[in-house]
Amino acid sequence: MQMIAEKIKEKIKELTENGKISRVMGWKKGLYGYDSEPFVFENGDLRDFTYDAFSGANLCKYMIAQSKNDGDGKILVLLKPCDTWGFELLDKEHRIKRENIYALGIPCGGMVDIEKIKKSGVKGITEISEKEDTLILKTMYGEKEVNKKDYLLDKCLVCSSKEYKDCDELFMTDLCGDTAEYDRFEEVEKLEKLSSSEKFEFWRSQLEKCIRCNACRNVCPACSCVKCVFDNDNSGVAAKANANDFEENLFHIIRAFHVCGRCVDCGECSRVCPQNIPLHLLNRKYIKDIKELYGDEDEAALLTFTTEDKEPSVVYERGKNNV
């Protein structure tokens, strides 16, 4: 990874010198080596630039604000394969000014979830370095080596595609790791098998952990409204949702409906959730339903109509088998 990061830096320098870009949206090193965060590098200053096993954050959403002003010149954005899906959605929905962006597709071998490492009992990490698939963890209590593959982010465990969408250039992308063999609908299927009341209990117990920090909404490339209905007093939605203790539940259910048919399954909502609510499962259930009802090919299934579309009664029919 360090080698890739260096090469990317060289590439950035080249693009900057050629006048193709004025800024870079990338990841900046944190204090401990596992807390890199999105950052805009300006004036060719790439100090603390990193691209490591902890660069899981999808940068595409920042492009809404960063591409707005024509006067700022082009911004380079670094995108992993799954990041490009959200990027493409933002482009399709006219939420970014594509002409002000230079999208560079970069390789990804899966990103690591530091929480998983910490949970395994490793404490006091001070520094992390990588050697192929091995993470060398320097801690206050000594050094430890772990295999990166054992601590991947949930979203990487179900990595379904290494396809890059809507990029201006692909850089070293042949170094991408393999997709996961794990079926991303397996967890959804498990939930589908529950009875209505079990499902209700499951989601109730998950969603009641929500602290309404709005991280899921803010990171979601499909949640890109100028004004969210929950922030719009005039819409009355927020007032309705908080009529009782069901508020958090309704927030997530309404959000799932709003992104239904548009969600690209990037898994960011669950990654950023500080309460570890598996929010992506709500969205993935919709994706599964849409695939089953309208097929794989129909990209805007809920917005288009064809004479072959399922009749609405299908919902009732399916519901009958699953009381």
State yes or no: residue 237 binds other proteins (CB under 8 A): yes
Size of the site for other proteins (CB under 8 A): 26
Which of 204, 209, 240, 318 binds other proteins (CB under 8 A)? It is 240
Pairing label, strands 75-79, 23-28: parallel
Which of 227, 296, 320, 321 binds other proteins (CB under 8 A)? It is 227
Closer CB to other proteins, 19 or 312, in the complex: 312
- Minimum distance, C-beta of residue 222 to other proteins, in the bound complex (Å): 8
State yes or no: residue 224 binds other proteins (CB under 8 A): yes
**Looking at this protein, which amino acid is placed at residue 126?**
T
Which of 18, 307, 313, 321 binds other proteins (CB under 8 A)? It is 307
- Identify each DSSP E strand in the chain by its residue range: 23-28, 37-42, 49-50, 75-79, 101-105, 125-131, 134-139, 142-147, 169-170
Closer CB to other proteins, 76 or 219, in the complex: 219
Burial label for 227, CB within 10 Å (0-12, 13-18, 19+), is exposed
- Minimum distance, C-beta of residue 232 to other proteins, in the bound complex (Å): 7
CA distances from 190 to 183, 195, 232, 301, 317 (A): 12, 11, 36, 25, 20
Residues in the chain: 323
Closer CB to other proteins, 101 or 156, in the complex: 101
- Identify each DSSP E strand in 141-188 by its residue range: 142-147, 169-170
State yes or no: residue 293 binds other proteins (CB under 8 A): no
Which of 99, 186, 197, 226 binds other proteins (CB under 8 A)? It is 226
Binders of other proteins in range 250-279 (CB under 8 A): 258-259, 262
Rounded Cα gap, residues 287 and 309, in angstroms? 16
- Minimum distance, C-beta of residue 225 to other proteins, in the bound complex (Å): 4
Burial label for 69, CB within 10 Å (0-12, 13-18, 19+), is exposed
Binders of other proteins in range 42-101 (CB under 8 A): 68, 92-95
> Quick one: DSSP state of residue 303?
T
- Contact residues: other proteins, CB under 8 A: 68, 92-95, 223-229, 232, 235-237, 240, 258-259, 262, 300, 302-305, 307
